[in-house]
Structure 1
Amino acid sequence: MKTLVATLIGPDKTGLVQQLARLIRQHNGSWQSSAMSELAGHFAGIVEIQVPEEHAPALSKALRGLPEFQVQLVEGLASAPQGQTLQLTITANDRLGIVDELTAVLNSLNISVKSLKTASHPAPTTGTQLFEAHSTVVLPHGQTQEDLQGRLEALSDDLIVDIEPE
């Protein structure tokens, strides 16, 4: 078996995920895992596919031939970071550079980001813009949750950090 990781981006429309699933099935591929979103009217997705060696070239060609999509394919599996997996939720007043500040802390502690979803929306009572980040991270051996929480909370007084083991 061969592992393909396909990254796709293109204009969003109904039926894209089914089109992708059908194409994978037609080429004897098995959909392993994925992350997909609609952002600003565009579909963005990444999918891990297992496919028998003899069907990999045809599936690769078919994926690259999807109309309206930019497709990038990578073969093989990369090694996963080692450590404790955590669910990290951050809420703060939205401001310029907040993602840069947060990721600088993560980088300084050698923390790997497995997933990150961010949003900005008006606060229910005041209407000021709130920033929210939901992330799955890998805390490397030798780092503590307390250190991570302290370093993040030191960024500003309005930052609320919630960390839960996965």
Structure 2
Amino acid sequence: MKTLVATLIGPDKTGLVKQLAALIHQHHGSWQGSAMSELAGYFAGIVEIQVPAEHSDKLERALKSLPEFQVQLVEGKGPTLQGQQLRLTVTANDRLGIIQEVTDILDSLHISVKSLKTHSHPAPITGIALFEAQSTLTLPHGQTLGDLQSRLEALSDDLVVDIELL
């Protein structure tokens, strides 16, 4: 078996995920995992696919020939970092630089970001713009949750940190 990671960007329209799933299935591929979003009128997705080696070239050609899409394919590798998995949610008043500040701390603690999803939305009562980041992280052996939490909470008074072990 061969593992492919495909990134796709193109104009958003109904049926794209169905079209992609059918194409992968048609070429004997197995959809392993994905992250997809509509961003500013575009579909942006990343998909992990397992495919028998004898079918991988045809699948790669089919993916690259999707009309109106920019497609990039790489061969997958195994997981790189061992450690405790956790889910981190950070909420704060929206301002410039929140993600940079948070990722600076994660990097200084050698914490790997497995997934990250962010969005801004108005607060329910006040309407003030709130920023929220949800991520799945790998905490390496030797690092503590307490150190991560205290360093994140020290960023600002309005920052709310929620950490859940997975």
What's the TM-score, normalizing by structure 1? Answer: 0.97
- Alpha-carbon distance in structure 1 between the residues aligned to 2:136 and 2:97: 20
**For residue 50 of structure 1, what is the aligned residue in structure 2?**
50
Aligned partners of 1:109 and 1:35: how far apart in 2? 26
Question: Partners of 1:102 and 1:9 in 2: how far apart?
Answer: 27
Equivalent residue for 1:10?
10
Q: Which residue of 2 aligns with 1:112?
A: 112
Residue ranges of structure 1 left out of the alignment (5+ in a row): none
How far apart, in 2, do the equivalents of 1:31 and 1:158 lie?
A: 40
Give me the whole-angstrom Cα distance separating, in 1, the residues matched to 2:48 and 2:60: 12
Moved over 2 A (4+): none
Using the aligned pairs only, state the percent identity: 75
Flag structure 2 segments of 5+ consecutive residues without an equivalent: none
CA distance in 1, matches of 2:10, 2:70: 6
Give 1:60-139 correspondences, 5 Å limit: 60-139=60-139
Shift of the alpha carbon at 1:41? Answer: 1.1
Task: Report the alpha carbon displacement of residue 78 of structure 1 after superposing the two structures with TM.
Answer: 3.5
The AA in structure 2 aligned to 1:76 is G
Give the 3-state SS of the residue equivalent to 1:99 in structure 2. helix
Shift of 1:76: 3.0
Counterpart secondary structure, 1:147: helix
* 1:55-84 alpha-carbon deviations (Å, 9 max, x no partner): 111110110111111101011323331110
How many corresponding residue pairs? Answer: 166
- RMSD of aligned Cα (Å): 0.9
